[in-house]
Amino acid sequence: MFTIKPESKKILGEIVLCKVVEGFFILLAAAALIKFINSPSEKFLLATFGLFAVRFILSGMTERLFARLSVNVQTSFRNSIHEQIFIKETQSGELLTLIFDTVQSLDDFFLKVAPQIASAIVFLPIFFICAAFTDLLTAGILLVTLPIAPLLLWLIGKATAEKNARAWAELQKLNADFRELLSAITTLKMFGRIDAGAKKIHEASQKSSAATLDVLKLAFVSSFALELITTLSIALVAVTLGLRLVAGSVEFQAALFLLLLAPEFFLPIRKFGVAFHVMISARESLARLKTFLVHADKVVGSAGKILMPPSISFVDVTFTYPKKKSPVLSGLNLKFSAGKVTALIGDSGAGKSTVLKLLAGLLTPTAGEIFWNDLPTSRMEKISMLSKVSYVPQAPHLFDAPLIKNFTMFDTLDAAELKILLAELNLPLDLNSTQKLSRGQLQRLGLIRAILKNSPIILLDEPTAGLDELTEQKVINLIKKISPRRTIIIATHRLAVINAADEVIQL
Please give, one letter per residue, the 3-state secondary structure of 156-214: HHHHHHHHHHHHHHHHHHHHHHHHHHHHCHHHHHHCCCHHHHHHHHHHHHHHHHHHHHH
Confirm whether 302 is domain-assigned. Answer: no
Confirm whether 394 is domain-assigned. Answer: yes
- 388 & 441 share domain: yes
**Cβ contacts of residue 425 below 8 Å, gap of 6+?**
444, 447, 448, 471, 474, 475, 478
Select from 363, 405, 141 the least CA-distant residue to 250. Answer: 141
Which phi and psi angles does 134 have, rounded to 5°?
Answer: -85, -45
- 285 & 321 share domain: no
Which phi and psi angles does 330 have, rounded to 5°?
Answer: -140, 115
- 273 & 372 share domain: no
- 404 & 280 share domain: no
- 369 & 490 share domain: yes
What secondary structure letter does DSSP report for 341? E
Confirm whether 207 is domain-assigned. Answer: yes
Containing H/E element for 225?
Answer: helix 194-247
3-state secondary structure of 317: strand
Confirm whether 304 is domain-assigned. Answer: no
Are the CB atoms for 327 and 319 separated by under 8 Å? yes
Question: Where a domain ends, among 238, 258, 293?
Answer: 293
Work out whether strand 487-491 and strand 341-345 pair parallel, antiparallel, or are unpaired: parallel
3-state secondary structure of 326: coil
Question: Where a domain ends, among 240, 261, 293?
Answer: 293
Q: pLDDT (tens digit, 9 = 90+) per residue, 221-256? A: 667 777 778 888 888 888 888 888 888 888 888 888
Cα diameter, the chain: 105
Are the CB atoms for 279 and 215 separated by under 8 Å? no
CA dihedral defined by 287, 291, 293, 295, rounded to 10 degrees? Answer: 170
- 282 & 383 share domain: no
- 320 & 274 share domain: no
- Residue 356 half-sphere exposure, CB side, CA atoms within 13 Å? 23
CA dihedral defined by 62, 64, 68, 74, rounded to 10 degrees? Answer: 90
Query: Which amino acid would we find at residue 171?
Result: L
Q: CA 191, 193, 199: angle at the middle one, nearest 5?
A: 175
Are the CB atoms for 294 and 84 separated by under 8 Å? no
- DSSP letter string over 90-126? --HHHHHIIIIIIHHHHHHIIIIIHHHHHHHHHHHHH
Query: Which amino acid would we find at residue 19?
Result: K
Query: Which structural domain range is residue 480 located in?
Result: 312-506
- 92 & 176 share domain: yes
Are the CB atoms for 123 and 265 separated by under 8 Å? yes
Count of positions (residues) in the chain: 507
- 418 & 269 share domain: no
- 273 & 318 share domain: no
CA–CA distance, 415 with 77 (Å, rounded to integer) = 28
- 344 & 272 share domain: no
Q: pLDDT (tens digit, 9 = 90+) per residue, 122-158? A: 888 888 888 888 888 888 888 888 887 777 767 766 6
Q: Specify the CATH number for the domain of residue 70.
A: 1.20.1560.10
Cis peptide before 309 (omega within 30 of 0): yes
Number of domain units in the chain: 2
Which phi and psi angles does 372 have, rounded to 5°?
Answer: -105, 115
Confirm whether 116 is domain-assigned. Answer: yes
For residue 467, what pLDDT is reported?
A: 82
Taking 50 as the pLDDT cut, the residues of the chain under it are 1-2, 87-93, 296-306
Which phi and psi angles does 428 have, rounded to 5°?
Answer: -75, 115
Q: What order of strands is seen across the sheet that includes strand 341-345?
A: 389-392, 457-461, 487-491, 341-345, 503-506
For residue 76, what pLDDT is reported?
A: 75
- 279 & 374 share domain: no
For residue 11, what pLDDT is reported?
A: 83
Tell me the Ramachandran region of residue 318: left when phi exceeds 0, alpha when psi lies from -120 to 50, beta otherwise. beta
Give the orientation angle of helix 114-134 with respect to helix 252-274, to 10 degrees. Answer: 160
